[in-house]
Amino acid sequence: MKYRVLIMLATSVMMFSCTKPGSDTPNPPGNNPPGENPPPPTYNTSATIGTTGGKLTDVTLEVNIESGTFIKSYPLEVKKATAAASFGEYESSTFYELKGVPVNFTKPIKVTITPATGSPDNLLMTVTEEKYSRSLRKMVQTSSFVTATKSGTTYVCDYTPYAGAGTLRDTTMSIKFGLVKNYEMLPVTKADSKFKMYAPTEYKAAAFDLRDYLDQIYGIVQNDLQFSFAERTSWPMSVTVKKFPADQQNVYGYFCMSPWSHNYSSMEFNATQLTSITELRATAGHEFFHFAKSLYGTMSTAAMLVSNDPFYWLDEASSVWIEQLSTGQPDYSPLVRQGHHLEPLKGVYKGPAENAEHYGYGMGAFVKYLVQQYGSTSLVNMYNLIKSKSVSNPVEAVNQAHAKTFSEMYASFLADYIGLKIYSDFQPSSLLTNATAVFNIAAEADTIMTFERDYEALSAQIYRVKFSYDKLMAGDALSITATGLGQFLVYQASASGIILMGKSYDEFIIENLKDLKDRNARILVVKPNISLTKEKQTVEFKVEKGLAFDAVWAKIYIRGNFSGDIASSIAVEVPLQVRSDDWPNYPMLSGKYSTATKIFSASYSGNSVVCEFDTKNNKVSGSVTLQNNDVSFSSRAVKASVTFSELTLSEWDGKTLTQYLSYNPKGSVNIVNCQYSIDDVTTHTLINATEVSVWIYFGMKK
Go through 24-40 and write b for each residue having 16 or more CB atoms within 10 A of its CB, e for each that does not. eebeeeeeeeeeeeebe
What is the 3-class SS of 535-578, one letter each residue?
Answer: EEEEEEEEEECCCCCCEEEEEEEEEEEECCCCCCEEEEEECCCC
Q: Evaluate if residue 312 carries a pLDDT over 70.
A: yes
The pLDDT score that the predictor gives to residue 304 is 74
Q: Which of 39-48, 204-213, 322-331, 381-390 has the lowest mean pLDDT?
A: 39-48
The pLDDT score that the predictor gives to residue 586 is 63
Answer with the residue of higher pLDDT: 164 or 116: 116
Instruction: Return the SS3 of 659.
Output: strand
* Among the listed residues 552, 561, 556, the one whose alpha carbon sits nearest the alpha carbon of residue 571: 556
Task: Give the span between the Cα atoms of 515 and 341, in whole angstroms.
Answer: 31
Tell me, what amino acid is at 468? S
Q: Evaluate if residue 670 carries a pLDDT over 70.
A: yes
Interhelix angle for 350-374 vs 378-387, to 10°? Answer: 130
* Among the listed residues 488, 484, 486, the one whose alpha carbon sits nearest the alpha carbon of residue 535: 484
The pLDDT score that the predictor gives to residue 27 is 40
Instruction: Return the SS3 of 495.
Output: coil
Model confidence at 577, pLDDT cuts 50, 70, 90, reads low
Q: Evaluate if residue 656 carries a pLDDT over 90.
A: no
346: how many CB neighbours lie within 10 A of its CB?
22
DSSP E strands in 12-153: the ranges are: 46-49, 54-58, 61-65, 74-80, 96-102, 109-113, 124-133, 138-146, 148-151
**Using an 8 Å Cβ cutoff, are 75 and 100 in contact?**
yes
φ and ψ at residue 385, rounded to 5 degrees:
-65, -40
DSSP 8-state secondary structure symbol assigned to residue 221:
I
DSSP E strands in 575-679: the ranges are: 589-590, 592-594, 599-604, 607-614, 619-629, 637-652, 655-661, 668-677
Instruction: Return the SS3 of 149.
Output: strand
User: Where is mean pLDDT largest: 12-16, 504-508, 561-565?
Assistant: 504-508
How far are the Cα atoms of 484, 492, 539 from residue 414, in angstroms, in the given order?
17, 16, 18
Q: Evaluate if residue 581 carries a pLDDT over 80.
A: no
Task: Give the span between the Cα atoms of 252 and 276, in whole angstroms.
Answer: 9
Q: What is the mean pLDDT of the chain?
A: 89
Instruction: Return the SS3 of 157.
Output: strand
What is the 3-class SS of 229-270, one letter each residue?
Answer: CCCCCCCCEEEEEECCCHHHCCCCEEEEECCCCHHHCEEEEE
**Using an 8 Å Cβ cutoff, are 610 and 623 in contact?**
yes
The pLDDT score that the predictor gives to residue 231 is 95
**Using an 8 Å Cβ cutoff, are 530 and 464 in contact?**
no
Quote the Cα angle for 329-334-335, to 5°.
130
DSSP β-bridge partners for residue 479: 509, 542
**What average pLDDT does range 71-88 have in this prediction?**
95
Task: Give the span between the Cα atoms of 312 and 353, in whole angstroms.
Answer: 11
Widest distance between CA atoms in the chain: 156
DSSP β-bridge partners for residue 329: none
380-400 per-position pLDDT tens digit: 999 999 999 999 999 999 999
How far are the Cα atoms of 220, 432, 544, 546, 655 from residue 469, in angstroms, in the given order?
57, 20, 14, 15, 25
Model confidence at 5, pLDDT cuts 50, 70, 90, reads very low
The pLDDT score that the predictor gives to residue 164 is 81
pLDDT over 70, % of the chain:
92
Q: Evaluate if residue 99 carries a pLDDT over 90.
A: yes
Helices vs. strands in the chain: H and E counts, helices first? 11, 36
Kindly report the length of the chain: 702
User: Where is mean pLDDT largest: 15-29, 35-49, 419-433?
Assistant: 419-433
Interhelix angle for 312-327 vs 350-374, to 10°? Answer: 40
Answer with the residue of higher pLDDT: 268 or 545: 268
The pLDDT score that the predictor gives to residue 113 is 98
Burial class of residue 118 (count of CB atoms within 10 Å of its CB; 0-12, 13-18, 19+): exposed
Q: Which of 6-10, 287-291, 421-425 has the lowest mean pLDDT?
A: 6-10
The pLDDT score that the predictor gives to residue 600 is 93
Q: Which uninterrupted H or E stretch holds 699?
A: strand 683-699
Model confidence at 301, pLDDT cuts 50, 70, 90, reads confident
